Amino acid sequence: MKQNGDVRIGFYICHCGTNIAGVIDVDRVRDYAASLPGVAVARDYKYMCSDPGQDLLRQDIAEHGLNRIVVASCSPLLHEKTFRGAAEDGGLNPYFVQMVNIREHGSWVHEDGEYMTGKAMDMSRAAILRVQVHEALERKRVPINPAVLVVGGGIAGIHAALTMADAGKHVYLVEREATIGGHMAQFDKTFPTLDCAACILTPKMTAVKAHPNITLWTYSEIDKTEGFIGNYTVTVKRKPRYVREDLCVGCMECIEACVYKSAKIPDAFNMGLSKRKPVYIPFPQAVPPVPVLDPENCLHLKNGTCKDFCVEACGDRDAIDFTQEAEYIDIDVGTIVLATGFDTFDPARIPYYGYGKYPNVYTSLELERLVNASGPTGGDVRLPDGRIPERVAIVHCVGSRDEHYQRWCSRVCCMYSLKLAHLVKEKTGGEVYNFYIDMRAPGKSMEEFYNRVSTEGVHLVRGRVADIAPESLEPPSNGRIGRVVVQAEDTLIGRIRKIPVDMVILSVGMQPQEDAENIRRMFNISCSTGGFFLERHPKLAPVSTFTDGVFLAGTCQGPKDIPDTVAQAGAAASEALALIDRGYYELEPNTAYVLEEQCSGCKSCIQQCPYTAISFDAEKSKASINEALCKGCGTCVASCPSASIRQHLFEDEEIFREIHGLLAYA
């Protein structure tokens, strides 16, 4: 076995106050380690991670000529960096340090001190055997391209883009729809302050458009992503909108002139509650203020038979371009912020709520448009038959907290339901019934908002709605839309209640975007069980992903309200900025490497890599690992059938020595 010359190991066992020493006999472990071959110094100390603790390492390296360090203390996750750093300060290669986790794997999980002292000896012996064959490793650096890509132009993407652009970085903001603004642009008021969503959002939207550091591409999608932290190449597909952004001045005369005299196509922005023309702008404050031509309905694009009034109206500006085709643009960026947002739960999946069957059953997002002054009814809450409803039911938790649909709480529904209750009551003066399971009002000013709405005369019924059915089997003779009866068990009084109402609002929960899985694969990140993108650590790295340089903002990571979304977008932006301003990224050297001469080119490893770090070099007929992408997971090392892939810091000999040390009886 190779020993890398004369090995002189320093062994240090930490008391961690009484965390370790309260269970483990540290003196015995220290004396035992001192007796093992190769150990030149063995010490115990109250807190190894403290400055004096680290100084011990540095002094001993100098005085005793140590060339290997073993620290028996806590999890390497906490202090491996600390002790590697201390060894490096002392002039030693940091990878000559091995930690033994006798706290999380020891004193915290065992009560039997005698047993645990023995286990600590075994674990220490394993590390002492292992560290002898450690090799000096070097950290490599990759430069970070300062340009950033933000995917998604909702409030999260907008805020992240503005933050980074304000810091002087060039930001590419790519949005799938014809305008930025996302779901927030569809909302009327926002809870708990009841300020108007558009009033606070549109200034930020125009700021994006005007910002010299932001390249805004709406009506565009990500086609392909390649590369790794600091060096991504992303292909953006710019879908044809048939109106040239560089020439259009936003006069909207083409819309006026369109051969369609009246609007006939359901308007997606208004949830289909109003109609638009084939050439349209999603909403008046859209950014950019450039209309889009819908090729499925535009007569010119569909069958070339139009009189092209729009072209005439555009005149010298000449912005209408029927020949436009999808354009693919490659951009180089160093970091990526994903802010792809959410979708709402489709309540038609719950048949007994009657959505899509009864015309007076709405989703909450449809109501947002109905109560909005620029919405299809000019802000009046009206039924399809034109009446103002006298009695309205709001059903909470539709699709949420339900093991048949979505197990999670969508966090925002209780509060937006109260907001809608307030707005509906204000606008109709009718009776409003909110059916809730639990009223969840955490967060700043939320409980106060709940108290406020509950004193406004809204009826709060604690019970999950079991059924929504017509009041009468006969349709009303006067052409009106009949009432429906909402049935629920009021769990506070222990009675079934059946309440006839004119209108039902289903408070739908949040779910991942339909194509979240595509995005996930394209950026090589993971997702949680519900399909929302997975953060690196739920508490300590909430906006990072397992792919370095890719960050998460907003509801693509999980349901959240606007304040949390904006806070998270700011966090994602600052994580990206921190990387950019440092200018480089240091790669941990515990990566896998191919023994090129021995590799048989069998390709078994290529699809194993969860980080797409392995490619097949067709010229050499060998596997090739990109160090910058490799995370050192070891999957390829284990699966290489001829053992021609190895891994730094996890060489076979190191692992076998560790096992040998663990299993050898003292």
Q: What residues make contact with other proteins under the rule CB under 8 A?
A: 595, 597-604, 606-608, 616, 621, 635, 638-644, 652
Dihedral angle sign, alpha carbons of residues 221, 224, 227, 229: positive
Query: What are the CA-CA distances from residue 663 to residues 37, 151, 175, 638, 657 (Å)?
Result: 17, 51, 57, 21, 10
The amino acid occupying position 657 is: R
- The owner of tokens 């922005």 is 269
CA nearest neighbour of 422 among 432, 414, 412, 435: 432
Dihedral angle sign, alpha carbons of residues 89, 90, 95, 97: negative
| CB closer to other proteins, 243 vs 599 | 599
Rounded to the nearest whole angstrom, what is the least distance from the CB of residue 661 to other proteins in the complex?
17
Rounded to the nearest whole angstrom, what is the least distance from the CB of residue 469 to other proteins in the complex?
40
Rounded to the nearest whole angstrom, what is the least distance from the CB of residue 599 to other proteins in the complex?
8
| CB closer to other proteins, 491 vs 526 | 526
| CB closer to other proteins, 37 vs 641 | 641
Could you tell me the two tokens for 523? 């950026």
| CB closer to other proteins, 472 vs 600 | 600
| CB closer to other proteins, 372 vs 644 | 644
533 φψ region: left (φ > 0), alpha (ψ -120 to 50), beta (else): beta
CA nearest neighbour of 579 among 43, 15, 169, 81: 169
Rounded to the nearest whole angstrom, what is the least distance from the CB of residue 41 to other proteins in the complex?
34
- The owner of tokens 């859209």 is 286
Decide if 283 contacts 374 (C-beta within 8 A): yes
Q: Which residues of 113-151 are buried (b: 16+ CB within 10 A; e: fewer)?
A: eeebbbbbbbbbbbbbbbbbbbeebeeeebebbbbbbbb
Rounded to the nearest whole angstrom, what is the least distance from the CB of residue 597 to other proteins in the complex?
8
Rounded to the nearest whole angstrom, what is the least distance from the CB of residue 595 to other proteins in the complex?
8
Rounded to the nearest whole angstrom, what is the least distance from the CB of residue 604 to other proteins in the complex?
5
| CB closer to other proteins, 429 vs 601 | 601
Rounded to the nearest whole angstrom, what is the least distance from the CB of residue 643 to other proteins in the complex?
4
Rounded to 5 degrees, φ, ψ at 432 are: -120, 130
Cβ within 8 Å of residue 351, ≥6 positions away = none
| CB closer to other proteins, 249 vs 638 | 638
Rounded to the nearest whole angstrom, what is the least distance from the CB of residue 652 to other proteins in the complex?
7
Decide if 483 contacts 314 (C-beta within 8 A): no
The amino acid occupying position 600 is: S
CA nearest neighbour of 590 among 94, 156, 232, 49: 94
| CB closer to other proteins, 104 vs 651 | 651
- The owner of tokens 């449809």 is 366
Provide the angle, in degrees to the nearest 10, between the axes of the packed helices 113-131 and 26-34. 30
| CB closer to other proteins, 1 vs 540 | 1
| CB closer to other proteins, 208 vs 637 | 637
Rounded to the nearest whole angstrom, what is the least distance from the CB of residue 626 to other proteins in the complex?
15
